Amino acid sequence: MADRLVCRECHRVQDSEEAETCVSCGSSSLTEDWAGFVVITHPDRSEIAEEMGVTEPGRYALKVR
């Protein structure tokens, strides 16, 4: 999974390795340099989602460089 792209803006892990923009926020700032991830299924009930500023369900990287 380390070869997946992650958005530097919202930390969303991209499903497509050929993505040119983030499916969540539309940013074109994607990177392969990230570590760890969390799956958020119910952002409205998640303290982690609140801390990360996540409002949509999905996979998010914990550390993005």
| Annotated binding-site residue numbers for Zn(2+) | 7, 10, 22, 25
Binding-site residue numbers are 7, 10, 22, 25
Q: Strand runs (DSSP E) across 1-65, as ranges?
A: 6-7, 30-31, 34-40, 58-64
Per the CB < 8 A criterion, the answer to whether 22 and 12 are in contact is yes
Are the C-beta atoms of 40 and 49 separated by less than 8 Å?
yes
